[in-house]
Amino acid sequence: MIEMNKIVKIGIIGLGQIGIYLYNELNIKKKEIEKKTGKRIKIVAISAKNKNKKRRFKFSKKIFYKNPLQIFKNENIDILFECVGLSDGISKKVVETALKNKINVITPNKALIAKHGDYLAKLAEKNNVCLEFEASVAGGIPIVRTIKEGLATNKINKVYGILNGTTNYILSEMENNNESFKRVLQKAQKLGYAEPGNPKLDLNGFDAFAKIRILSSLSFNTKISKANCIMEGIENIKLEDIKIASQLGLRVKLLGISEIINNQLFETVHPCLVSKKTYIGNVNGVMNAVITEGKPVGESILQGEGAGPGPTSSSLLSDLFSILRGNIKYPFGIESVKRKKITIFNKNNYKNSLYLRFIVKDKQGVLSSITNRLAKYKISVKRIIQTPDKANKEATIIIITHKTSEINANKCLSIFKNNNNTLKFLTLIRLYN
């Protein structure tokens, strides 16, 4: 616990978009922080790869360290912000070193927590300091604190939502402006929503998956799972599918879902078709939303801006407040030794209705050859829409199936993929619920 009346010394590692914004906020809000927590803070050390890069705000070069590990030798810091963002490497090294030196750590780094959270939490507990990561999930939405504290006594059995602002923005823009994935991605990169260099981790679902892993372990009081689940991104979503879905009253959303099914854990990230009438179907643009289902509280929804330095910094500061005001808390809400391992639900048994899109030669018998094959794998059809394209002697066939298991769907559809040229199988999107 941080003593009264002493100046709380702070270090920031990483001065990218988030780090530099945080640096500026801490300086601006010093007075307010003192007013609200009774503690005075001072940034005594900062570190980044490149001292001279152009940044949004100025910083004091006097407290700059080229090597972040040097900080632990020279300064007696109380709280360290890790804003580098790697899942391993220097991110892990500085957090580890800080905790071992009994320094509280605050980080927005979901990749690090999703990969090493169990180990780091234990380390924090052993050294009797805090490891806080509110900003690692859903930017400005205080979902970590809400699950750990606000919903602490509920039995949560499901947590899901839109956890990646970039992909949600892309899907919304494609629908609203009738633009292709590629074109909207370029726009997103220009606006700073998607990484200019490598947007892959957003687009392929990795980012959302790291967040869902953190949410699972908080919600179910379990260790972070390492299981290989279904992780699909939005790279294969075509404008055509979005338009057809819209006609059917549906919308494509990249959902992260974590659920306890028969006492087993199921975690997944994949594009879903959701009804436009549902709540989640109306969370558009860069917004994030997390829905928890628990007892006795029922369904709780938290929505807010999911990305960007403003919302992220809001969460980083809420962690700072928590440390300044309170005493030591367990990083995952309960003691590490009490967080249990959980069996993993077999993903082959995951059941969904499916949306399938084929392009076929427009001739007799094609439709029945598709439906026969589906029937063979016990996939029953709920709805078929066939649209001829006379000019090209082709037709588009859309099939919505009743619920079927992943394993059946995979077996059946792999055959379509490798089929003779009477058919081209294009898209599979799971329906949500």
CB 425 within 8 A of CB 267: no
Positions 13 through 42 that interact with its own copies (CB under 8 A): 25, 29, 32-33, 35-36, 38
Cα 187 to the chain's mean position, in Å?
A: 21
Residue 318 binds its own copies (CB under 8 A): yes
Site string for its own copies, 337-376 (x = CB under 8 A): -x--------------------------------------
Whichever of 315 and 353 has its CB closer to its own copies, that residue is 315
DSSP 3-state of 276: coil
Residue 122 binds its own copies (CB under 8 A): no
Exposed / middle / buried, residue 35 (Cβ in 10 Å: 0-12, 13-18, 19+) = exposed
Consecutive H or E run containing 354 = strand 354-361
Whichever of 225 and 322 has its CB closer to its own copies, that residue is 322
Minimum Å distance from CB 136 to its own copies? 14
Applying CB under 8 A, the site for its own copies has a residue count of 54
Residue 125 binds its own copies (CB under 8 A): no
Stretch that binds its own copies, among 48-56, 64-72, 100-108, 306-314 (CB under 8 A): 306-314
Query: Which residue matches tokens 């070193």?
Result: 97
Minimum Å distance from CB 106 to its own copies? 13
Q: Is 211 a catalytic residue?
A: yes
CB 342 within 8 A of CB 222: yes
Residue 134 binds its own copies (CB under 8 A): yes
CB 328 within 8 A of CB 129: yes
Whichever of 30 and 55 has its CB closer to its own copies, that residue is 30
| Contact partners, residue 250, CB within 8 Å, separation at least 6 | 273, 274, 275, 276, 281, 355, 431
269 DSSP assignment:
E
Positions 321 through 340 that interact with its own copies (CB under 8 A): 321-322, 325-327, 329, 333-335, 338
Consecutive H or E run containing 319 = helix 309-325
Whichever of 113 and 324 has its CB closer to its own copies, that residue is 324
Consecutive H or E run containing 275 = strand 264-275
CB 290 within 8 A of CB 301: yes
How far apart, in whole angstroms, are the C-alpha atoms of residue 146 and residue 203?
27
Minimum Å distance from CB 307 to its own copies? 11
**Hey, what's the torsion of the CAs at 216, 217, 218, 221, to 10 degrees?**
120
Give CA separation, 173 vs 21, 166, 286, in Å.
27, 11, 10
How far apart, in whole angstroms, are the C-alpha atoms of residue 30 and residue 52?
26
Q: Give the end-to-end CA distance of the chain in Å, rounded to a whole number.
A: 46
- Cis omega before residue 68 (within 30°)? no
Stretch that binds its own copies, among 140-148, 163-171, 208-216, 416-424 (CB under 8 A): 140-148
Positions 151 through 170 that interact with its own copies (CB under 8 A): 151-154
Minimum Å distance from CB 164 to its own copies? 17
Q: Out of 110, 211, 223, 253, which one is annotated catalytic?
A: 211
Positions 265 through 304 that interact with its own copies (CB under 8 A): 279, 282, 289, 294-304
Minimum Å distance from CB 65 to its own copies? 26
Query: Exactly one of 41, 103, 130, 141 binds its own copies (CB under 8 A); which one?
Result: 141
Query: Exactly one of 140, 161, 199, 271 binds its own copies (CB under 8 A); which one?
Result: 140
How far apart, in whole angstroms, are the C-alpha atoms of residue 286 and residue 304?
9
Residue 107 binds its own copies (CB under 8 A): no
What amino acid positions are annotated as catalytic residues?
211
Binding site for its own copies (CB under 8 A): 1, 25, 29, 32-33, 35-36, 38, 134, 140-142, 145-146, 149-154, 279, 282, 289, 294-305, 309-311, 313-315, 317-318, 320-322, 325-327, 329, 333-335, 338
